[in-house]
Structure 1
């Protein structure tokens, strides 16, 4: 990294560097120069003595020749210093960076790459001091586009979660040691902290005597742990050996375990709809210092929240379609209750994406007319059909977790126009998160006689 240090009163200027290395891309026609854009969010850094913060400046381009960004650092004088990769060119208070060479254009000529910028508070910068960083993105023939990012200096502790894991190859019956790691990115020590976790349904976390446990509305396990101690600026702390997590029979599909670290004195209130209770345990959750204090916080460490993503737990499960057989005479209105049942043991879980699960399709038998239907069902394609050509109805899922042993059923009112028509059917809408272990029972008939 090349560091740029500024003094107050420096005059702003922008230098366009000719011949700078750039990502390869198709030549742009004069009537289609393409475009170049970028984004650098607002930045908060700890006061003098805190580790630096690495922030990505994201460059996007499409069909542009020599896409790049020029940064004018004069607005940071006395507030913060910035360091850039060696492939950027610095002249005074102006820095020009090409599109990173790793950002290979795709077939359409579009490319995206990140320029890592490291910020430190300037010596003597006061708590609350702010500065602006102007940056302009452009190519050889594109119009320049200038934006600003605000850099703010804060004094005090600043706890960040360092976990951002993607894990493949775990399955039901395994025990996974989830990493737990935090760092204080501020300039002052943090005294005592709280770690909170959410384990989705099917994941069973270990018990610690300084943690409390509860179940939320989506049947996930919430854990709140009070960890005593002093956490020095820049020092990484970890849970030795990780947080043991068992994958129970209900585990199915992709899961994300969330974790958040906060100073205990200013921690947000715990969810009011979750009843937290302590568990008997032989051990306490303790965080140990690891390695030397960090000079710079890595680019992937951005906030107090982190997580572990467990990819595609195979799990076993069986969704069974529940049809109906009803009787009546022509002119009668009969009720048909249809839906799905999960015989388990796996539980389809939509909390990761925020979706509901258990949706299905219902096609009435030929010879009936739907005269009343549930509010969460509607014709698939906005055509209610006729007795001779019934439309298929879509019934939305009602829950975010489809537990083993539970059903999702609804009741339709059907007027019999004539008897002896072809049977209707019910089947799942999609096969989430995959085709189940017994697809032969995924479709069930609906018969009126």
Structure 2
């Protein structure tokens, strides 16, 4: 069993076009305690550059970590056992200070096991002189840690290792930038080194830039393509092809520093960056070819809902059009996760039955539980999901068809804005007064 990696990159274009998500190759194996799970974070496979021309082979980095799932638990005394005995004679390992080696095996200590998939332990491994290309074996891992419920352990996990020849382009990982003001310009650090044993004959650079940022043309070697349906495009894809030859140990940068202009409607923005060797050459370690430049802008978005007042006689069907509006000034987007930006919670007035609802509205019981009926109509409550992004000043209408079974004067339902999951306030919305409205059926004269 493998848990998806926490370190994802270059997925914005895939989210917008509904294609598959790109993930970094990180293996993880769970072991269940009473109420927590211990995970071992490690690469699924590793390619070691072969030594050539009598020179020492470049070292590859293996990032390892432990983490757990339950925020209510403190997990301590993590011990990760790394067995690299299969590499004896074909590779050399440099252990960090947090690992206690005994021959080709070592125990790495994690005094505090985090919740996230951080990988604080890094091994340096290089192919031995004379080692030939091809599979050489596996590094295996086991782990234990201590919680309030006792000791939990991670079953064996492994990294397949091979010796290969080729370029290994490694992209720097920009630190997240916070506190940015709309209208400002933000530098985006960009640099690439070749950790492989062969030159990269050209460099391909791809940027996925969210709508609240503008990076200009980047370079004459680049082309820009807006992505998404409709007149407003949430992402711009920038493709660049450079003919620079990057020798082993050499580096590459863009012709001019990468800078992003922050729009007045920007909020949580990002640039997803990937690099690849030119000519379709295989990169020895694709997991370090991508990075996310996250730019958090100081801005707000005022989400609001408007209810409806409709009337009709018993037996008639009426339509109530419920409206969502983003009053801005910021747009809101969850392009990385693909989650809805918010949900509209609708409670049906007494005396009426819902006979038709929008496709984005799921039926619920009155207390918010799952609706067990095979039909989507007739429920007392509905949860309508908004899209994964909404532009500033954008509106959405949710038409509900209501059959009036019994005339109840002034019957009141409710329309409430909520986060897509849970009940916490919308962090970007400073005005909660317009997050609720009434759906009134047959209002009193």
Q: TM-score, normalised by structure 2?
A: 0.73
Distance 1:443 1:164 in 2: 40
Counterpart residue number, 1:128: 134
User: Which structure 2 residue ranges, 5 or more long, are not aligned?
Assistant: 1-33, 69-73
What's the CA shift string for 1:150-186, capped at 9, x where partnerless?
2111111122222242222213222111111111121
Partner of residue 186, structure 1: 196
Shift of 1:345: 2.8
- CA offsets, 1:104-134, max 9 Å, x none? 369xxxx997432111111122233423334
Q: Distance in 2 between matches of 1:427 and 1:163?
A: 40
CA 1:346–1:72: 2 relative to 1, 3 Å: closer
Name the structure 1 match of 2:311.
327
Match of 2:46 among 33, 43, 48: 43
Match of 1:447 among 435, 440, 445: 440
1:405 — aligned with what? Answer: 393
Flag the structure with higher strand content: 2
Contact 1:260 1:304 in 2 (8 A): yes
For 2:379 and 2:88, how far apart are their aligned partners in 1? 72
The structure-2 alpha-carbon separation of the partners of 1:256 and 1:50, relative to structure 1 and needing over 3 Å to count, comes to farther
The yes-or-no answer on 1:104 pairing with 2:127 is no
3-state SS in 2 of match to 1:126: coil
Aligned pair in 2 of structure 1 residues 87, 322: CA closer, same or farther (>3 Å)?
closer
Native 8 Å contact 1:250 1:345 kept in 2: yes
**1:225 aligned partner:** 240
CA distance in 1, matches of 2:398, 2:354: 13
State the structure with more CA Rg.
1
User: 1:71 corresponds to which residue?
Assistant: 83
1:56 correspondence with 2:63: yes
| Residues in 2 aligned to 1:143 and 1:176: alpha-carbon distance in whole angstroms | 44
| Residue number in structure 2 paired with 1:310 | 295
Equivalent residues of 1:197, 1:260 under 8 A apart: yes
SS in 2 for 1:124: coil
Which runs of structure 2 are paired with 1:277-356 in the superposition (5 Å)?
A: 302-311=287-296, 313-356=297-340
The Cα shift of 1:429 comes to 2.0
Pair 227,35 (structure 1): closer, same or farther in 2 beyond 3 Å: closer
1:261 to 254, 272, 275: 275
Change (3 A) 1:332 1:112: closer
The alpha carbon displacement at 1:210 in A equals 1.8
Are 2:172 and 1:162 aligned? yes
Q: How many Å apart are 1:361 and its aligned residue?
A: 1.2
Q: How large is the Cα RMSD of the aligned pairs?
A: 3.8
Map of 1:420 onto structure 2: 409
Residue pair 1:201, 1:219 contacting (<8 A) in 2 also: yes
1:116: which partner in 2? Answer: 122
TM-score (norm: length of structure 1): 0.72
TM-superposed deviation, 1:87? 5.5
Q: Is residue 216 of structure 1 aligned with residue 216 of structure 2?
A: no
CA distance in 2, matches of 1:40, 1:178: 28
